Amino acid sequence: MSISRHAFASGFLLATTLLSTNAWSEQTSPSSNSSHKKLHKLAKQRRNLAAGESVEVLGNRITIDRQRPTSSSYHFTGKELESERINTIEDLQQLSPSLNVDAADPFNSSISIRGMGDGGGQTGGEANVGMPSSVGLFLDGVYLSRPSMMAHGFNDLDSIDVYNGATQGTLYPANVTAGVIDIKTRVPTATTRREAFFSYGSYGYMRASALVSGKILNNLYGSISYNHTAQGGYIKNVRYGNSVNGYHGDSVRTQLYYTPNENLNFRLIADYSAERETPTPVLYKSITVEGVNQFENMSAALGNHIITGRATDLDYQNYDTTQQLGVSPQISWRFGGGWKLSSISSFRYFYTNPVMSDPYSINVYYNSGTNVRDRTWYENIRFDSPQWKTINFATGFAYSGESLNTNAISQYSDGVSGAWYKSTSYDNLTVYRYGSLRDDYYSLYAQATAHPLKRLTVKFGFREGIDDKSGTFRRLNKSPFYSGVLSKTTALPSAMVNVDYDLDNLTKFYVALSYGKKAGALNISSGSAGKAGFDSLYIKPETTESIEVGLHKDIPAAKLDFKIDYFNALVKDFQTQGYDTETQQTYLTNAGNYRSRGVEYTMNWRPIKNLTITPNVLYNDTKYLSYDNARCAPEVSLQSQPPASCNLNGRPVFRAPKLSLSVMGRYEHSLNDKSSLYATVRYSYRTATFATVDDSPSAKIPAYGLLNFSLGYKLKVHGTSLDTSIWVNNVLDKTYYMSLREGDYGSVFGWMGTPRVIGGSVGVHF
């Protein structure tokens, strides 16, 4: 099966290349007047893009930052995402093959792009919060320090851009050595907008939203939007007969936009959200080593009921509550000669309170978890030059601060805990862990765009950052430990060079080189590892060196455009997570060096009127180049005489599928000037990938493909638009896993994906 899928992908790329060659020879024919018109139109669009103006692209107005380097990326409008029922960052990976999201619980979420990201990959234990992400998540220009800050429900969305690679590291003021997810909401305007949307489906799925936007006073505009999302549980707890692993959340977002004149505008954004969910893993498998299945034996001895599939047997159930709020004042001022000054400020508060228990039918531990309070503040001041004949530039200063506190508790039961862990010291034991972190990041940056030749564009930039961290960690009642005051100051330089060459008005070739360094970390939620010693409290910075070579091609005669690129990135001192069996805690560590390289291909094809087909394909080959003292997988560590460590050199990097693809199709048929029918189909596929950093074969997420479709009807009467649809997600009802974790005695637990959901939606715009 894997061979046939690889052959399909290779054949698809070859066929598109041949089609490109034939279509190019046709569209340059002198007899094709329509082709010449499209050539001139596209050439004009390219000139507008170079000047940083707003251009019309398939009916959507998008503003292009003229300093943005050419690189592999995905752009999705809010309407497209709503049509495809993409409501979360986790859903977004179905459209963006380079994106991988592990959202097992609200706080311990991780994002990677092309196999590079948060590290994650914990083999057991619980979240460690002292490590920054190398994938930058931005909401209206504001840096979000935690992926879970966009966990459930987009609100008043305008667009999302996924930028792959480290070339963004000088333009975005954060440790973005892997890429950027840039989320933008709609700006209020004088045009009055009133919208309402409701969607309902199987397993209690529901999404409801409402928005009002328009003019308040002269030159003052405002909007307020509300969003509710919910998903009933689809894992049955046979102990009580109820369903778990669901969620519900509410958010409200309001904006004011003031433009006293065409050169000056102020924007004030405020939001609040609250969520509650019941994250619940299920038993995926347990392994047999040297003829012994320790998990089954322990379960039989202590009465643990083993159950698999979409079911579990829990005496205590998990739940998690999360709240957050934020405010962001923003200003943009254009003054004499075309100069521009802009400022984005923000303050955000994030709080999560998980109450977690063991995944067994017996009471080993209960009412445990890590309570987290995270406060962040941010300022980015940017100064843009005018568009001169051959060069322009942007320079600025950025600062972000964070104050984070963790309060963790582990409560062990009487009797069962001691028997399960084979030590009476666990009976009635309560372990407390307290952590604090203060992080200040300052940076100066500059980036320029030069046009030394008519068809040649060179972008180059640098950022010099200083990261200043301090923190403490204390553990009571088990392996007592106090770290004292930890501090770490690190210089974080980054640089990029991007060279574009327009072979003609419809063909762009580019080369991008980049270097970036992600800040080090402190183990402030688990302390040091017993074997690694006190030095394991400090995590070294992670560096990324990358090259990307790509081609962008527009072929009007064939009604298609495509992008193809080759990338190769070297990651040194990879930051990830280990597990200390002595304290049963996850801790942060550096895991040697690895390489990520591959080919990415995207295309937009309109073969007939009103039909659009968009295939996206990623082939990604990630391997550890040097990882000599890795934690051994349980298949090795449970042996009678296991080695102290394992060598993972040459092994695949976890959470990086070798092949990922998505294909979207949309067809719309006009019934008359007021109504139309439409249909959408989407298929996404990912090959198998290891889920944990030790490359355990038992914790390997199997390959899976998801098929979704919808059928809808649009009607517009007297200024009111009605959009109704019926839809099915996971049409084939595939059983698949979003994440796997290793448990005790060779057990593996997983978070299952959503089963088939059938539903309907209705939206009104007036």
Residue 275, pLDDT score: 93
Please indicate, yes or no, if residue 58 is contained in any of the structural domains.
no
- Once rounded to an integer, what is the mean pLDDT over residues 505-527? 86
As given in the structure block, the two tokens for residue 653 are: 């990097």
The per-residue pLDDT for range 2-26, each reduced to its tens digit, is 444 444 344 434 344 433 433 333 3
42 within domain boundaries = no
580 C-beta neighbours (distance < 10 Å), count: 22
Q: Average pLDDT for residues 122-131, to the nearest whole number?
A: 53
How many Å apart are CA 482 and CA 474, to the nearest integer?
4
434 vs 480: CA distance, rounded Å: 12
| Listed residue (651, 638, 533, 646) closest to 593, CA to CA | 651
Q: Is residue 18 part of a domain?
A: no
List CB contacts of 392: < 8 A, sequence separation 6 or more.
Answer: 66, 67, 384, 385, 386, 448, 449
pLDDT at residue number 64: 67
Quick check: is 19 in a domain? no
- Quote the strand ranges of 307-429, DSSP E: 311-312, 319-335, 339-355, 365-384, 391-412
Tokens of 67: 């300093």
Instruction: Provide, rounded to the nearest whole percent, the portion of the chain with pLDDT above 90.
Output: 70
308, 747 contact by CB (below 8 A): no
Identify the pLDDT of residue 152.
66
Vertex 78, ends 322 and 765: CA angle to 5°?
100
Residue 35 lies in a domain: no
Whether 40 maps to a domain, the answer reads no
pTM for the model: 0.88
Q: Tell me, what's the pLDDT at 93?
A: 92
Residue 95 belongs to a domain with what CATH number?
2.40.170.20
What is the C-alpha to C-alpha distance for residues 592 and 573, in angstroms, rounded to an integer? 5
- Domains held by the chain: number: 1
Does residue 158 lie in a domain region?
A: yes
Q: Which domain holds residue 283?
A: 65-185+194-335+342-765
Supply the pLDDT for residue 578. Answer: 66
* Pairwise pLDDT comparison (717 vs 35), residue with the higher score: 717
| Domain assignment present for 504 | yes
Q: What is the pLDDT of residues 424-455, one digit of tens each?
A: 999 999 999 999 999 999 999 999 999 999 99
Q: Which residue has the tokens 């030590």?
A: 423
Strand, coil or helix: 632? coil
DSSP-derived secondary structure letter, 125? S
